[in-house]
Homo-oligomer: A and B are copies of this chain.
């Protein structure tokens, strides 16, 4: 029997998961929480085999990736991320934090069941889209801007000018321009807005 704890801030999703998983053999939903904090508190003096965790909780709340990090650090149960969107940053962050799987909320119920079984058995469980993202990142590392380049691009996407970015990152405008130029080359574009659009489309940032 796989004992599952759920944490998601959407009541509709929680209810759906309970309902879908409740009809599966060998699976029991033993807890249901609306925040990562509540889940962690519950885990402190309860046990389960698998956690189904959303990534985004409300403003100012502990997010799923950080919660995953804490659960893994304390030797807790396996964590399966279940969220709406899959950006490269989110995926890598969650997996790096120790999540053993990453599912999207539009997952068909059959696939959800399979993923739960797999995750509880310690196997990785990734949505097809997530697998595709990871593969692309491995097969085509040339298209991947570096962390610093992404930092600059993110600020550009937030509407900052080159000089503002330079100020915020404590570098000169020349450096900002260099980083941006590199992202343009890697993304195959020739303008700041096109780079932002491309990065957004590829899920390089939310």
Contacts and interface: CB of A to CB of B under 8 A. Distances in A.
A131 interface: no
A19 to B, nearest CB: 4
Question: Size range of the interface on A?
Answer: 20 to 34
A18 B19 CA distance: 9
A15 B11 contact: no
A146 B17 CA distance: 42
A108 interface: yes
Interface in A32-87: 84
A159 B196 contact: yes
- Interface of A: prevailing SS: helix
Identical chains in the assembly: 2
A177 interface: no
B12 A159 contact: no
Interface stretch (A94-102, A168-176, A185-193): A185-193
Interface in A10-39: 10-20
A116 interface: no
Contact of A17 (B16, B107, B194, B198): B16
B10 A106 contact: yes
A125 interface: no
A67 to B, nearest CB: 18
Contacts of A161: 191
Contacts of A17: 12, 15-16
- Nearest 7 interchain pairs by C-beta: A16-B16, A159-B194, A159-B197, A15-B16, A12-B16, A19-B19, A15-B19
24 contacts: A10-B16, A10-B105, A11-B20, A11-B106, A11-B107, A11-B108, A11-B109, A11-B112, A12-B13, A12-B105, A13-B13, A13-B105, A14-B16, A15-B15, A16-B17, A84-B84, A157-B193, A157-B197, A159-B189, A159-B193, A159-B195, A192-B193, A193-B193, A196-B196
